[in-house]
Amino acid sequence: MSEIEGGAPTAPEQEVVRICRDLLRIDTSNYGPGQDGPGEREAADYVVAQLREVGLEPQVFESEPGRTTVSVRIAGADRDRGALCIHGHLDVVPAHAEDWSVPPFDAVERDGCLWGRGAVDMKDMVAMMLACVRHLARTGTVPPRDLLFAFFADEEAGGVLGSQFMVREHREVFDGVTEAISEVGGYSVTVDDAKGEPRRAYLLQTAEKGIAWLKLEAQGTAGHGSVPTSDNPIVHLAEAIARINAHKWPREFIASVRGLLDGLSEITGVGYSDEDAEALLERIGPAAGFVRGALQDTANITMLDAGYKHNVVPQTATAALDCRFLPGHEEDLMATIRDLAGEHVDVVVEHRDISLDSPFEGDLVERMRAALLAEDPEAAILPYCLSGGTDNKALETLGVTGYGFAPLRLPADLPFAPMFHGIDERVPLESLEFGARVLWRLVEDC
């Protein structure tokens, strides 16, 4: 239904839960390169149907069969101003049902929340986007400037078949776009202030670490498992892994991190130093993991592969390494990894993507701040650096300045940040409705 009783247009907060529920029931798991996700096309078709129902005619792009991106542009009052892209991704990481309290693709409603893979990352924001663009169309509202709504495929595998495909093959879609907003920002954490009173702070994402997904490939001499050898590739690989794991990456607090820590310190009255910020980080609970990841470069082993028979020494052994680097650190990180890997281990770049660092100032930042404060007047708005990555990286190659702004007012006891790629993802219904109201305020005032 597109209208409520009496014929009044449905407000975004009145249908955002319904849209999110529909999206969660579509399994859009992305298993990585060369493996078709089962439902990305189905989700894209759903988006198209929701847009056409209110009289919009979106564009549909397919990088490979089933890997589908949808976009729709809304003309603004001032066509000479730079356009704002509001984007989200339709795919999700896989979920193992046996690990979950509820079936991950049933969109179960429990304890005031919608549960399901993608509830946090990022079908909540996609639902807000759809609710707002539908309201624009139903009401004939003309935004202050052009708005481009983009629903990308393949973000969870680096965006090669989604946002990167779009900026490479269909950059005309982004003509005139100067700024963008997307996921992993604008959500609240609750901290006790200096008087012991709870206060919400919204983390507006202004920076992202860069990505280097590497393969460590150890070479050795194949042979019989009963014969001693000093050239075992598994041993070479294990030694390289041990060196990389033991390496202490130097800390550097970039502007967004410094702004977050300074803001938290001012609210809580808890100090910090460049060497020790733990007492302060503990005040933001589960969200501290994201912040810790932005204090320095990181390198984590995520997969291993070696050997094929118990009594055979193999010729090669490999490991997957997930590295994230701060803005300006890519060359130093790669040089350090190659040095730590050693002479017997090659470092192969499987996928890389840039870091981002946008200013915590300017007209768009002020409009995002105003939209949040209109719904939560006593809150603080602070910058932060995302330790992961978003499709804003692809848009940055076109000169588009990107921010993370998927607004959610969250209960103080909800472990929100660990649910990104975690089990039992869930989003409160009230948070979805709050986010739809905030996003609509921004759409009207951007």
Which string of DSSP letters, residue by residue, matches 160-210? TTTHHHHHHH-GGGGTTEEEEEESS-SEEEEEE-TTS-EEEEEEEEEEE-E
Q: Are residues 117 and 228 in the same domain?
A: no
Q: Give the bridge partners for 179, in sequence order.
A: 84, 401
Q: Are residues 180 and 96 in the same domain?
A: yes
Boundary of a domain, candidates 299, 327, 353 = 353
Q: Are residues 439 and 305 in the same domain?
A: no
Q: Is residue 379 part of a domain?
A: no
Q: Is residue 27 part of a domain?
A: yes
Contact by Cβ (8 Å): 148, 39: no
Q: Give CA separation, 20 vs 1, 10, 23, 154, 274, in Å.
A: 15, 16, 5, 19, 41
Q: Is residue 203 part of a domain?
A: no
| pTM exceeds cut of 0.85 | yes
Q: Give CA separation, 141 vs 78, 99, 397, 407, in Å.
A: 13, 45, 31, 21
CATH number for the domain harbouring residue 254: 3.30.70.360
Question: What would the two tokens of residue 17 be?
Answer: 């839960």
Q: Are residues 33 and 172 in the same domain?
A: yes
Boundary of a domain, candidates 353, 370, 405 = 353
pLDDT number for residue 20? 98
Contact by Cβ (8 Å): 235, 320: no
Q: Which domain, by its residues, includes 337? A: 208-353
Q: What percentage of residues in the chain have a pLDDT greater than 70? A: 98
Contact by Cβ (8 Å): 322, 302: yes
Q: Are residues 19 and 75 in the same domain?
A: yes
Say how far apart CA 408 and CA 186 lie, in whole Å.
Answer: 6
Q: Are residues 99 and 150 in the same domain?
A: yes
Edge-to-edge strands, sheet with 108-110: 108-110, 113-115, 426-428
Q: Are residues 409 and 295 in the same domain?
A: no
Say how far apart CA 389 and CA 352 lie, in whole Å.
Answer: 11
Give the chain's residues under pLDDT 70: 1-7, 34-37
Contact by Cβ (8 Å): 182, 395: no
Q: Is residue 167 part of a domain?
A: yes
Say how far apart CA 117 and CA 424 lie, in whole Å.
Answer: 8
Q: Are residues 214 and 88 in the same domain?
A: no
Q: Are residues 262 and 305 in the same domain?
A: yes
Say how far apart CA 264 and CA 412 lie, in whole Å.
Answer: 16
Q: Are residues 113 and 222 in the same domain?
A: no
Q: Is residue 438 part of a domain?
A: yes
Say how far apart CA 421 and CA 214 lie, in whole Å.
Answer: 20
Q: Are residues 173 and 45 in the same domain?
A: yes
Q: Is residue 1 part of a domain?
A: no
Q: Before 122, cis peptide (omega within 30)?
A: yes
Give 432's Cβ-side CA count (13 Å radius). 31
pLDDT number for residue 1? 36
Q: Is residue 362 part of a domain?
A: no
Say how far apart CA 412 and CA 198 lie, in whole Å.
Answer: 9
Say how far apart CA 121 and CA 420 lie, in whole Å.
Answer: 6
Q: Are residues 130 and 272 in the same domain?
A: no
pLDDT number for residue 5? 44
Domain count, the chain: 2
Sequence-ordered list of residues with C-beta below 8 angstroms from that of 125, at least 6 positions apart, any chain: 88, 182, 183, 406, 435
Contact by Cβ (8 Å): 314, 308: yes
Q: Give CA separation, 54 vs 8, 27, 132, in Å.
A: 14, 25, 12
pLDDT number for residue 284? 84
CATH number for the domain harbouring residue 88: 3.40.630.10
pLDDT number for residue 37? 65
Q: Is residue 367 part of a domain?
A: no
pLDDT number for residue 417? 84
